[in-house]
Structure 1
């Protein structure tokens, strides 16, 4: 396995500063992942944090076991679940929305990070540390997770998607897809993949995840169990009814103390702003930071005097009404981006949480909220980042003398420079010389026509502009004709860019993992899982 590091600057300044331990970001978090003493301090906090609210571990084990059995997770994962019943067991937790066919590559990398960290600290601490993947099935943004992008054999980025089954704005975990919708999606996936020795097996496995009217969350969980179950990755769907039942007491706290809880978020927001950073998730003083399910729809609540209502006033509750829901029907409540970190801490003994750059930025807003509930934000660890470069793409980069920085920052310039270098007729210089020669003789003549008649001068100016336009037109057409000689080279150059920086984004945020599993099997994935890789916030180039 050939791998090298590369500094790919994060699009979040707060996250960049936190990872590199610079600026004011460190003050916004109680720990830093690069400090061994902070890891030891976190363990001590968890061992002695009796004041913090937490769930009954036996009930947690029961709910996780039932769910993981249902999605087909492995005995290794079930052993880790059983270990959570022991008060000394710790957890590494991270998560993502449930994407179609496993979503983008970065989701696989987040799971790899969780597994790597759990293994590392299990060895260092000589105690059980369990890897847990939190599936954000309660999220209702269907359009964000209903598609994947693939790079076709013709060099085009294609979007494969499934349509919303009902149009109701509700949790992804509550939207079963028809067998016809799944078959159509699988057919599109099949068409997008080249024929390889791995294709039939890959499609068969993927088909096995979508039976029985599966939701995107169901299929995602089954796929993650297939990919990572042997490494003991425990799965949890945030919208699973048995999990909701466990969250009842924490929902009560969030509702009962809603005003002071919101005030704690506002204080953190002020701290982030005073530290010089932009706000990743806007917080409002009257925000309840909770959703409610009403007539199937998931509605965000805010406070109005003594009541809680959604934006359109479709529903309206007293605090007593919401507390009753928390006790009797907690499955009608749901977390938002600000309460989810608190609920994660309530459910699990979180040694560290694995986050992407955007998540790091909004978790900074929760520090005061953790403290408000006598909790402490866990160690925030940036997920591993990779760009996969195939052998042919590497050869093409060498051929055209392209570095990764060239592809990211000046690709069009480097591409044009290469094309210009192939111009043995020196078209640019010769056309420019012709145009300058023409202007040097014709422009003075036109200027002199003003002495005859202003109208003739105006006609001359128009005539001059048309001739220059025709010279430029012929130059453009001649260049196009010349470039057709290099169509193969242009396709190679464009494929380099589309591989590394598709849609002007990192590869891991666009492409789905199936194309790489189809071309190379799962050996590369096993390498990333089994080779100890420092979780240090750097980007890595992995040559396939």
Structure 2
């Protein structure tokens, strides 16, 4: 099944800070707590066990999850794991994702499978403890445009509707139209009926949060995946002291900015904190809270709180306060007995800004693990690449780099003039010595002539390469067709394709292959032959 593994450091799709993190580089050691190695989880368990009020938190968590799972069908494995969360020897591994329509991009599966597989590895390493995989639904996000579609091959299925407020609270009216379009695209494929039923049974729910839970549960119910909706009054009540600090002291703004003052100039800052990193949330919208002149304003609407009023609102209605990207990680770690967060490159990058903030709040900073990334390729595509003398790893290059490499490989004539350039440099080195010994004023002229000759060779090399590209155009186009199939829009397949495009022919076997192929602790990109 595994065709090859490629180190992330060799691929252009991963940022400098993520590559530095994967190398456990001294450049960023101060930005994380423990590196994701199995042997480091023992200390993480010991530290998390000492978190203040964790045992009381477990009781509230189990009660809230029990209510959320009240109407979930065939949930024995998940319910068993929920009950295990009462035990002080049970810990979680968490991944999070938006409520993308029909899971959205493929990496939704990779995140969850990374989480499930890490729990299994931890149970083997630490058998005296229990480890529960958790999918944290981003139900409070308000950017509907990011989640309202998924791609099926080269078709984009879009759920067009008006939206406001948290996406998890949106009803599912009109989604039957998307299922009708999906059925047409699925045609008579082997698992078309199963996929259509999966869509309809999931999205007949009252809102997108419940629908997404139904969908993820159906795909991973045998693995005991616990799916959490943190837009919950009981769970929010656990965070009241921390939300209060945020409103009064702007604690996250100060801590994160302190980290960013010493940020390496070579690394991009993923997110910048606001002075208050909480929203005010109701059914009509999600509004940024702004403090000015001892008053609290809601951005976009005519609503003002005094300090006393907003703190009373927090105590009475904690569900009306919603953490943004800076504060959500802390909220997660407050309410879960969590050891590790598994996320994509962008997520890990913003978590790396938060360690100082966590320390100030006296909450253990979790281990951070980059989710698995993979490319799915079929035997026919591999066969074509082999006939064209192209490795899968070559397809990760930019188009012009790949084309140049191919031309140099297939051309019957030598295009590389490096040998001639070296010969010229040697000759001019001797001329430099002659000029130095006779008349140093000639050194500039010799240098200019050397540059002219080298530039001439480079020009000839480019013209020859261009001519060979015209000659081998058919060969290049055949490679381009396969690359476009595997890297749509010059992007990683996992960021474009939806699981249904592969599931329609493979069914549950697709999930099984991914579980067997993805090792969450292997810091390499996985190429999987289907």
TM-score by length of 1: 0.80
Measure how far apart 1:302 and its partner are.
2.7
CA contact (8 A) 1:288 1:308 kept: no
SS of structure 2 residue aligned to 1:407 = helix
- Over 3 Å counting, the alpha-carbon distance change for 1:149 and 1:492 in structure 2 is farther
- Determine the structure 2 residue equivalent to 1:226: 218
Does 2:493 match 1:507? yes
TM-score by length of 2: 0.82
Measure how far apart 1:75 and its partner are.
0.5
2:168 to 156, 168, 173: 173
Distance between the aligned counterparts of 2:409 and 2:43, measured in 1?
Answer: 60
- Over 3 Å counting, the alpha-carbon distance change for 1:3 and 1:417 in structure 2 is closer
Partner deviation per Cα, 1:159-193 (whole Å, 9 max, x = no partner): 111013x342x111111121xx2111112222222
- Determine the structure 1 residue equivalent to 2:100: 99
CA contact (8 A) 1:269 1:365 kept: yes
Does 2:205 match 1:203? no
SS of structure 2 residue aligned to 1:365 = coil
2:484 to 485, 498, 505: 498
- Determine the structure 2 residue equivalent to 1:5: 5
CA RMSD of aligned residues (A): 2.9
- Determine the structure 1 residue equivalent to 2:507: 521
1:339 to 306, 321, 327: 327
Measure how far apart 1:496 and its partner are.
1.5
Distance between the aligned counterparts of 1:363 and 1:160, measured in 2?
Answer: 32
**Structure 1 gap ranges (5+):** 152-156, 425-475
- Determine the structure 1 residue equivalent to 2:126: 125
Counterpart mapping for 1:39-50 below 5 A: 39-50=41-52
Distance between the aligned counterparts of 1:73 and 1:317, measured in 2?
Answer: 45
Does 2:171 match 1:185? no
Partner deviation per Cα, 1:185-212 (whole Å, 9 max, x = no partner): 1122222225222111221122111114
Distance between the aligned counterparts of 1:530 and 1:317, measured in 2?
Answer: 54
Distance between the aligned counterparts of 2:411 and 2:265, measured in 1?
Answer: 53
SS of structure 2 residue aligned to 1:540 = strand
- Determine the structure 2 residue equivalent to 1:270: 261
Distance between the aligned counterparts of 1:417 and 1:16, measured in 2?
Answer: 25
- Determine the structure 1 residue equivalent to 2:247: 255
Distance between the aligned counterparts of 2:524 and 2:410, measured in 1?
Answer: 37
Measure how far apart 1:70 and its partner are.
2.9
Distance between the aligned counterparts of 2:261 and 2:37, measured in 1?
Answer: 26
Measure how far apart 1:314 and its partner are.
3.4
Distance between the aligned counterparts of 1:269 and 1:313, measured in 2?
Answer: 31
SS of structure 2 residue aligned to 1:86 = coil
Count of residues in correspondence between the two structures? 471
- Determine the structure 2 residue equivalent to 1:145: 147
Partner deviation per Cα, 1:45-94 (whole Å, 9 max, x = no partner): 112233x7786212210111221233436210110000001122111011
Distance between the aligned counterparts of 1:139 and 1:503, measured in 2?
Answer: 26
Q: Which moved more, 1:527-536 or 1:110-119?
A: 527-536
1:383 to 360, 371, 376: 371
- Over 3 Å counting, the alpha-carbon distance change for 1:343 and 1:175 in structure 2 is same
